[in-house]
Chains A and B, each alone.
Chain A
Amino acid sequence: MTRPITKTVNVPVADGDGERYTLKMGPQHPATHGVLRVDLELDGETIIKCSPHVGYLHRGFDKIAENRTYAQSLILTDRLDYIAAMANNVGYCVAVEKLLGISVPLRAKYIRTIVCEMSRIASHLLWLATHALDIGAMTVFLYCFREREVLLDLFEELCGARLTFSYPRIGGVRQDVTKNFVDVLQRFVADFPMHIEEYETLIDTNRIWLKRTVGIGVLSASEALELGLTGACLRGSGVDYDIRKHRPYDAYDLVDFEVPISDDGDIYARYRCRMEELHQSGRIIQQCIDQLPPGSIISEDAPDLVMPLHGQRKVEAGSSSYGTGLIRLLEEKEHFPVGDIYVSTEVPKGELGFYFISDGSGRPYRMHMRSPSFIHISALPALAEGSMIADLIANIGTLDVVLGECDR
């Protein structure tokens, strides 16, 4: 027997002159995707003032990197955006290669493009899963993790790690891809559009999803630019800025892909941009597999892989970046120019930039990381102030932040 509804309850609505109170959300709140604390000043359920607090994961990477050689700092970049660590590794390697003037063999470029796009898919899947979960769509979470698992297994086959890869090397990659890897990836890419369709049927025209996302967190193109947003957050506002097109690195100028842009600037627009990016990533991987040239996977100039004990250079799974290679890296000072350089790459979250100052000593005089999540969180007040507290969760999700990258 169903219980009849006996009475309706009037929920008081904020009228702007109610009593204000402050609420500290986090740092352990599950919807903040890490250790983010947001201090809210509320009037009823309306956010009057929102101030994010970060730094709980600060490890001082800039300072640590100053005291290490270039090859040693690679592992720090794994710990930035741990959801897409591969893209961070590649970003770091591209920057150091540009600084030291190392040219990468074509095969390595293609392999790095493949792993970059794989990590973009893995990151976007995790974003979609948690973003949908925050808003209340539980099923998408399970579907996304099903596909993400395939990618993580592939990464494991490639380099033995599922989270912190350190697979790319300055001057190439550590290991060649296996035939099985290519076959499984090929199958995955062939099936992937079908899976994207699966997610889309769940939420694309879902009434609750639309109510929670359409017209919420709207940013115009000029606002988004002024806030310093990058990646899908900027493209969702209609600015055509993708570093893969603007300043191509690795094999991005050799493959054909489109940059999805939307003019609406709300949460739904950013969601659509990322979903389209999934399609494009699949396309890029397919082209890379088709075009994958034979040849060497590590540059002859790559300083960190010189292993004299083996007679000639060997690239093995067990070869760490420590050891003889490092000593030579320190001794041979002609490798290192004096100057400064800023190189950025398009990681799943946005623009990850590395600014190096080299004084010719073999260790960076100064290394600065421009992490997209740090800037995105600083834009949270612009999105959230004046909206309802429930929309704050959606706004944090749409910015796609990882606190490890934010705090460095």
Chain B
Amino acid sequence: MESMEIAEKLQDHFSEEVLDICDFHGQVGVVVKRERIVDILRWLRDSPEIKMDHFMDLCGVDNKKRQGKNLLRLEVVYNLYSIPLRHSIRIRAQVPENDASIDTSTDLWCGASWHERECYDLMGISFNDHPNMRRVLLPDDWSGHPLRKEYPLKGREEWSGLEKLKHKVVKLQEFGLSDGTLRTKAERSQTKGNEKS
């Protein structure tokens, strides 16, 4: 089925939810509200003539510097593909800035779990009822979400754990510098052997 047909069917089925349909280079994106996103995804997965069984991609987008009607501050983009029927569709769910959250799709595809964790980590959109909503790429104590447009390219500050890590390195060096000189591995093993005997 052509992607446009799927989009129109989706619009018939969820007329309240679909805000816009856009076509670019033959790829169709459907802009939807976030409230019934799980229902939409389930319908796309389970309808026999659509059968989107492969969850290709999920990513978050910050619309702060992008113009367009129907766009809220944040957006979650789902790229779905049907392996038996060979067609694809893109769903763009709009998420407001003051309540940056959307329902999780891990009940439909458990492989979406890390996609959503990454989206939370880098874009700051949290997923309701996700089994493990923690950061995945950045350290747990990182502050801020780097892919937001207001986040500077070079970052805001050093990671808070860095000082601790540096201290640890110094401490570790002390073990190799017991008498003030740096010894090679062979020398160290030699002294070790002497201690044993």
Taking beta carbons and an 8 Å cutoff, which residues of A are in contact with B? 54-55, 58, 60, 62-64, 67, 98-99, 101, 225-229, 239-241, 246, 337, 339-342, 344, 351, 353, 355, 357, 359, 365-366, 368, 370, 374-375, 377-379, 382, 407-408
Contact = CB atoms under 8 A, between A and B. Distances in A.
A365 B67 CA distance: 12
B85 to A, nearest CB: 11
26 contacts: A55-B137, A58-B137, A60-B146, A62-B122, A98-B25, A101-B25, A228-B112, A229-B111, A241-B54, A241-B83, A246-B83, A340-B24, A340-B90, A341-B24, A342-B27, A342-B57, A342-B79, A342-B88, A344-B57, A353-B57, A353-B79, A355-B57, A370-B59, A374-B118, A375-B115, A378-B111
A58 B138 contact: yes
Contacts of B167: none
The main secondary structure of chain A at its interface with chain B is mixed
A161 B115 CA distance: 33
B29 interface: yes
A19 to B, nearest CB: 26
B136 interface: yes
A337 B24 contact: yes
Nearest to A56: B137
A375 B57 CA distance: 10
Given A63-B147, A240-B83, A365-B66, A355 B153 contact: no
A274 to B, nearest CB: 20
Contacts of B79: 342, 353, 355, 370
Contacts, number: 100
Count class of interface residues, chain B: 35 or more
Nearest to A67: B153
B11 interface: no
A379 B111 contact: yes
A316 B111 CA distance: 44
B109 A226 contact: yes
Contacts of A382: 110
Contacts of B77: 340, 355, 368
B181 to A, nearest CB: 27
B139 interface: yes
Given A228-B109, A357-B61, 12 more contacts: A60-B146, A67-B153, A225-B53, A340-B29, A341-B27, A344-B57, A365-B66, A366-B61, A366-B147, A370-B57, A375-B114, A378-B113
B168 interface: no
A225 B138 contact: no
Contacts of B133: none
A231 to B, nearest CB: 12
B86 interface: yes
B153 A226 contact: no
Contact of A55 (B29, B55, B90, B138): B138
Contacts of B56: 342, 344, 351, 353, 370
B164 interface: no
